[in-house]
């Protein structure tokens, strides 16, 4: 997302008393004992982001909030130049069954799943996004494949923003690695999707975001979902955030049509994802996503048949800090706890 989230995490205090801490040493079976291929995600899925650096359990918060699917943020390298991706860029939190393995298995046992996400603002501005950091395409693809074999997941999210949008070499490596991982999945009989999470204007992607997708087409990398961040516009205007979500997504649909002219309009809408930021975003009150906006967007998403409905982030889904913008732990508006989760979670069931 479009914030220095890892930096916030270093100074974060305890969040809500309702949020349960995660035991870092949670035991789970080794990858060798879990040879199953992951199940494809539903064609229409609600999957809010989970701030993975907080020490909390995604499975516990998913159960409390009523979510079946979560996007786990973020994976990044521990230092620029590395080809190893760890959770939160922390070498003590590798891609391993001992780190989030029990949580992901619990989500899957409940009929849901996790979507691991690479990048985010902090990684994308420090050279620690995997494809920016690592110059070996095979190694990048190997990391993607390891996620699949370790956790049995079926979708990987790539959050590309800020400096990463200008790193043309990293963009090219990333898309080449996607294509390699997709070929590997086909050979091994696994389901594997990739989503790109990109910043947007109220009318669609800017040129640099569109260039990421154009490069994917050139590299024969299949992009299953383009997830736009419909917040933090920073354009000096006061926004109706629901209306702007619709216009941004419509603009994206038209851009996708130019990239994939043989797809039907319905298929193109089925490639669209939307991520909101509940309450007051980083810009301030002029960009406030209200509870009414959430209900409007949920209805629109179901009617339009988009693929993914998400928000940043699960830990913000409470009203404990009315008037505060851009918090990592609350929305800044008056709301029932888990209001946005409950409103969006129904999206998965409506279109199954």
Tell me the pLDDT of the chain (352 aa) as tens digits. Answer: 744 433 333 333 333 333 333 333 333 333 333 446 789 999 999 999 999 999 999 999 999 999 999 999 999 999 999 999 999 999 999 999 999 999 999 999 999 999 999 999 999 999 999 999 999 999 999 999 999 999 999 999 999 999 999 999 999 999 999 999 999 999 999 999 999 999 999 999 999 999 999 999 999 999 999 999 999 999 999 999 999 999 999 999 999 999 999 999 999 999 999 999 999 999 999 999 999 999 999 999 999 999 999 999 999 999 999 999 999 999 999 999 999 999 999 999 654 3
Q: According to the model, what pLDDT value does residue 349 have?
A: 63
What pLDDT shows up at residue 5? Answer: 38
**Straight-line distance from the first to the last Cα atom of the chain, in angstroms, rounded to the nearest whole number:** 28
Q: What domains can you pick out in the chain, each with its CATH number?
A: 45-350 (3.20.20.80)
Measured CA distances, 294 to 106, 153, 289, 303 (Å):
28, 28, 7, 14
Half-sphere exposure of 209 toward its Cβ, with a 13 Å CA cutoff?
Answer: 23
Q: With contact defined as beta carbons under 8 Å apart, do 310 and 262 qualify?
A: no
- Which two three-digit tokens encode residue 329? 């732990």
Residue 1: the pLDDT is 77
What secondary structure letter does DSSP report for 243?
H
Q: Are 69 and 56 contacting, i.e. CB atoms less than 8 angstroms apart? A: no
pLDDT of residue 37: 74
Confidence at residue 4, expressed as pLDDT on a 0 to 100 scale: 40
CA distance 28 to 112: 18
Q: What is the pLDDT of residue 10?
A: 34
Q: Are strands 308-311 and 272-276 parallel, antiparallel or unpaired?
A: parallel
Determine the Cα–Cα distance for residues 33 and 105; give it in Å rounded to an integer: 13
User: Is 191 within 8 Å of 148 (Cβ atoms)?
Assistant: no
């Amino acid at each position: 997302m479009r914030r220095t989230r890892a930096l916030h995490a270093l100074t974060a205090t305890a969040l809500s008393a309702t949020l349960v801490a995660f035991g870092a040493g949670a035991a789970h079976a080794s990858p060798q004992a879990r040879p199953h291929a992951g199940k494809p995600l539903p064609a229409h899925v609600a999957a809010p982001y989970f701030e993975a650096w907080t020490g909390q359990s995604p499975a516990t918060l998913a159960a409390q909030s009523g979510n079946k699917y979560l996007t786990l943020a973020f994976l990044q390298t521990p230092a620029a130049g590395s080809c190893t991706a760890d959770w939160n860029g922390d070498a003590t939190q590798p891609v391993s069954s001992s780190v989030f393995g029990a949580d992901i298995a619990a989500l899957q046992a409940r009929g849901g799943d996790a979507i691991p996400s690479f990048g985010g603002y902090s990684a994308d501005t420090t050279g620690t996004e995997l494809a920016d950091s690592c110059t070996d395409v095979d190694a990048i693809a190997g990391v993607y494949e390891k996620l699949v074999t370790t956790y049995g997941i079926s979708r990987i999210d790539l959050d590309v923003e800020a400096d990463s949008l200008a790193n043309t070499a990293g963009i090219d490596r990333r898309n080449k690695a996607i294509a390699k991982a997709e070929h590997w999945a086909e050979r091994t009989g696994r389901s594997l999707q990739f989503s790109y999470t990109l910043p947007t204007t109220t009318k669609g992607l800017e040129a640099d975001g569109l260039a990421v997708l154009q490069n994917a087409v050139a590299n024969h990398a299949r992009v299953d979902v383009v997830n736009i961040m419909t917040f933090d516009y920073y354009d000096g205007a006061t926004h109706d955030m629901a209306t702007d979500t619709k216009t941004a997504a419509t603009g994206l649909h038209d851009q996708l049509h130019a990239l994939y002219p043989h797809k039907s309009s319905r298929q193109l809408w089925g490639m669209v994802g939307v991520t909101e930021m509940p309450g007051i975003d980083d810009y301030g009150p002029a960009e406030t996503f209200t509870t009414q906006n959430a209900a409007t967007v949920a209805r629109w998403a179901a009617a339009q048949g988009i693929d993914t409905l998400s928000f940043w982030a699960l830990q913000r889904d409470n009203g404990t800090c009315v008037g505060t913008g851009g918090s990592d732990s609350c929305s800044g508006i008056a709301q029932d706890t888990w209001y946005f989760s409950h409103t969006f979670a129904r999206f998965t069931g409506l279109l199954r």
